[in-house]
């Protein structure tokens, strides 16, 4: 089965610009999660979708971040406008049943804001 | 301090030796998971241990969980150069909402 796919793998943008990250989960996985790792710090939860609904968005840092999952398939995470502190690696993961058997992560998108 | 703290932060061993990494956490959990990240790649799920389990094995991996001490350890036996990576523990809370809390990770270098 195909894994979790994220793109782009790398993105370099200027402060104030907009970037959209995309995640394609494993087909049939209703649960989709976004995490990010800011340089030198731990991996932090951003939000959780169950199908197209936001189950938990307590980790979203501020209103410059907007996540969507229209149709319950792929998800996008938009950062607008990007700030320097948004630089880091953004991971997406999907799972069956809330992750009781573990999660499958994508390779991540490395975002650099200059 | 953050939940899911790991030690050591960095570990360097020779091929064939065993590597042990430890993880501590703060709140009650449903399960604890270990992940590996090779340089520039995504997180790979290694093993999951539930809160009612004390030890679990998978190939060369052995995980222990002590809920009274809120700690876990990951042992990699007979290490190989290909085991060089960062290792993270992650806890799923007792409400099991699916949200994971990660530690900062242990960077393991296995020298050939």
A97 - beta bridge partners? none
Among B100, B106, B107, the strongest candidate for a mutation testing the A interface, having the largest count of A CBs within 10 A, is: B100
B42 closest CB neighbour out of A33, A48, A105: A105
Average pLDDT over residues A26-48: 91
Chain pair A-B, CB pairs under 8 angstroms: 67
From CA B51, how far away is CA B28, in angstroms rounded? Answer: 9
- The confidence score (pLDDT) of residue A39 equals 79
pLDDT band with cut points at 50, 70 and 90 for residue B90? very high
User: Is residue A107 within 8 Å of residue B41, measured between CB atoms?
Assistant: yes
- The confidence score (pLDDT) of residue B38 equals 86
User: Is residue A76 within 8 Å of residue A10, measured between CB atoms?
Assistant: no
What radius of gyration, in Å, describes the C-alpha atoms of chain A? Answer: 13
H/E stretch holding B71 reads: strand B71-76
B92 at A interface, C-beta within 8 A: yes
Helices (H) and strands (E) counted in chain A, each on its own, are 0, 11
| B73–chain A nearest CA distance, Å | 18
B52 at A interface, C-beta within 8 A: no
A42 closest CB neighbour out of B30, B48, B103: B103
| Cβ atoms < 10 Å from Cβ of A78 | 15
Closest CA to B52 of B32, B73, B76: B32
Residue B1 pLDDT exceeds 60: no
- The confidence score (pLDDT) of residue B4 equals 61
**pLDDT tens-place string over residues B43-58:** 899 999 999 999 999 9
- The confidence score (pLDDT) of residue B87 equals 94
**pLDDT tens-place string over residues B65-76:** 999 999 999 999
From CA A72, how far away is CA A45, in angstroms rounded? Answer: 19
- The confidence score (pLDDT) of residue A53 equals 94
pLDDT band with cut points at 50, 70 and 90 for residue A36? very high
- Stronger pLDDT, A68 or B27, i.e. the higher one: A68
Angle at B20 between CA B25 and CA B98, to 5 degrees: 35
Average pLDDT over residues A58-86: 95
From CA B85, how far away is CA A39, in angstroms rounded? Answer: 17
- B37 by DSSP, 3-state: which? strand
- The confidence score (pLDDT) of residue B2 equals 36
- The confidence score (pLDDT) of residue B96 equals 64
- The confidence score (pLDDT) of residue A70 equals 85
Q: Give the start-end residues of each E strand in A4-108.
A: 5-7, 10-13, 19-24, 31-37, 43-50, 53-56, 65-68, 75-79, 88-95, 104-105
From CA A57, how far away is CA A46, in angstroms rounded? Answer: 6
């Amino acid at each position: 089965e195909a894994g979790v796919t994220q793109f782009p793998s790398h993105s370099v943008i200027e402060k104030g610009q907009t970037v959209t990250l995309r995640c394609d989960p494993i087909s049939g996985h209703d649960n989709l999660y976004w995490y990010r790792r800011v340089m030198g710090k731990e991996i932090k939860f951003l939000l959780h979708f169950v199908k197209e609904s936001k189950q938990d968005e307590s980790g979203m840092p501020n209103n410059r971040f907007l996540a969507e999952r229209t149709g319950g398939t792929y998800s996008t995470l938009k950062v607008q406008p990007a700030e320097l502190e948004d630089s880091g690696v953004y991971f997406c993961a999907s799972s069956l049943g809330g992750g009781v058997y573990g999660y499958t992560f994508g390779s991540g998108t490395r975002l650099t804001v200059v | 301090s953050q939940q899911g703290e790991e030690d050591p932060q960095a570990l360097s061993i020779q091929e064939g030796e065993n590597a042990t990494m430890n993880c501590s956490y703060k709140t009650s959990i449903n399960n604890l998971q270990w992940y590996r990240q090779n340089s520039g790649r995504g997180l790979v799920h290694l093993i999951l241990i539930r809160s009612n389990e004390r030890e679990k094995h998978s190939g060369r991996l052995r995980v222990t969980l002590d809920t009274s001490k809120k700690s876990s350890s990951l042992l990699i036996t007979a290490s190989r150069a290909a085991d060089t990576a960062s290792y993270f523990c992650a806890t799923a809370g007792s409400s099991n909402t699916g949200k994971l809390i990660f530690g900062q990770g242990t960077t393991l270098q296995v020298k050939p």
